[in-house]
Amino acid sequence: MKTLVDKLCLKHTLSAEEYRSLLLCEDADTNAYLQEKARQTTIARFGNAVYIRGLIEISNRCRNNCLYCGIRKSNTMVSRYSLSRETILSCCREGYALGFRTFVLQGGEDLSQTDDWITDTVSTIKHEFPDCAITLSLGEKSLATYQRFFEAGATRYLLRHETFNEAHYRELHPSEMNRDHRLLCLEWLKIIGYQTGTGIMVGSPGQTIDHLVEDIQFIERFQPEMIGIGPFIPHADTPFGNEPAGSIEMTLKLISIFRLMHPSALIPSTTALATLSPDGRERGILAGANVVMPNLSPSSVRKQYALYDNKASFGSESAEGLKLLEEQLNEIGYKISYLRGDFVSSNHCHSEEL
Ligand code: SAM
C-alpha cells in the first residue's frame, strides 16, 4: 500500500480503484506514512509557516434549507443576526491590528444583505485595507454578481461543492438546490479569476467511500486553489440531529491525499476538526494543512453562528487567542505566517516565505 502513497506523491494522481484502496486502508503504518509524505510536501512548499485568515461570520440568516446546517431557514430556534457594515469594519480593524492580512466574510444567503450592499462593503474594506485580501463565502450568486464582487476587490471565494454525487447531493439538500448549479457557480468563479476554494464535509449522512472517490476525482480535475475539508458534525435542531459525526481519521487522510495530489493548494485545518478533538487543529496541520481561520466575529454573535453543536469559536479558535494559537503551533514545530498567503502555482517559488 505504501507504493500507492509514493505513486500519489510522484504523479499527483491515482486511479479511482487506487484512491478507493487508500481510503479503505486501515494499516496504521501506511496511514502514518501517508501523513508523513503529506507533511514533507507541505514543508517543502511552504516551510513551517501556517497562514492565518480572520473569519467574520457576517450573517446567520439563510434562505436555504440544507439538511445538515444549523442555520438552515427552517430552524426556528436560531436567534438571527446580520452584521452592519460598521461592525464588519471594526472586526477588520481589530484583525488588522492583530496582524491579519486576509479577511473572510462568510454567511448564510441573507437576502437583506443585498448584492449592492455586499459590493459596497467589499469596496469599503478594500479602500481601508488595500494590502489585505478579501475572501467571500456567501453561497450561490449569479455570474454578474460574482463579477461585481470581484471588481469591488474580493479575489478569493469559498464554495464547497459538499458532495459530487448527484443522488447524495439530493439527500443533503432540499429540492430547490441542485448539484449542477453549485458546480456551475464554481466554474464561474474560476472563469472570473477568483482563487477558488471548494470541498466537502467528511462523513455527511449517506456518504460512501465511492462518493469520496468521486469528490477526490472532481477536485483533481477542478484544481481549486483552496480545499476545505472538515468532518460533518450534527446539529440537534436539524433533520440530521441524531446522525453520527464524521471521522477525524478519514478527515486527516483526505487532507493528506489532497496535499499530495495538489502540493500548492491552500488547505485549512478546519474549526470542525478542532471542535471534534482538542488537538484537532494541530493534527490537521501535521496531516498537511497549512491554513487556520481564527474567528474575528464579534464575540456577542459567535454562539449564534452555530452550524453544528458545540462549534469552537473561543480560545485559540478566536482571533484574540492568537498567542495561544502561536504557542500550540510552536509546540508542533510550526509558526504563524502574517503574510497574505495568496495561492502561488507550483511553477513559482515561495522564496519570500521559505
Ligand atoms: N452559505 C455559504 C455556502 O453555502 O457556502 C457559506 C456558509 S455555509 C454555513 C459554510 C459551510 O459550513 C458549508 O459549506 C458546509 O460544508 C459547512 N457546514 C454546514 N453545516 C455543517 C455541519 N453540520 N457540520 C460540518 N460542516 C457544516
76-86 per-position pLDDT tens digit: 999 999 999 99
Distance of alpha carbon 246 from alpha carbon 78, whole angstroms:
24
Ligand 1 nearest atom to the CA of residue 272, by list position: 25
CA–CA dist 173, 282 (Å, integer): 31
Q: What percent of the chain has pLDDT over 90?
A: 93
Is the predicted pLDDT of residue 350 greater than 60, yes or no? no
Question: Using a 6 Å cutoff on CB, does residue 162 contact ligand 1?
Answer: yes
Q: Ligand 1 center to residue 107 CA distance, Å?
A: 9
Contact 113, 59 (CB under 8 A): yes
Could you tell me if the CB of 160 is within 6 A of ligand 1? yes
Question: 233 in ligand 1 pocket by Cβ < 6 Å?
Answer: yes
Centre of ligand 1 to C-alpha 160, Å, is 8
Of 74, 135, 160, best ligand 1 pocket probe by most atoms within 8 Å of the beta carbon: 160
- Rounding to the nearest 10 degrees, give the CA dihedral for residues 248, 254, 255, 260: 150
* Protein residue with its CA nearest to atom 3 in ligand 1: 139
Q: How far is the CA of 261 from the centre of ligand 1 (A)?
A: 24
Q: Is 258 helix (H, G, I), strand (E, B) or coil?
A: helix
pLDDT (0 to 100) of residue 26: 95
What Rg, from alpha-carbon coordinates, does the chain have? 19
Place 233 in a pLDDT band, splitting at 50, 70 and 90.
Answer: very high
Nearest partner of 278 among 223, 316, 322, judged by Cα: 316
Residue 347, pLDDT score:
52
Residue 312: what pLDDT?
86
Distant-in-sequence, close-in-space partners of 9: CB < 8 Å, separation ≥ 6: 37, 41, 260
**Band of residue 138 on the pLDDT scale cut at 50, 70, 90:** very high
Rounded distance from Cα 69 to ligand 1 centre (Å): 6
Closest Cα to atom 11, ligand 1: which residue? 160
Supply 187's cell numbers. Answer: 466554474
Q: In Å, how far from its chain's centre is CA 90?
A: 23
Ligand 1 pocket residue status of 159, Cβ below 6 Å? yes
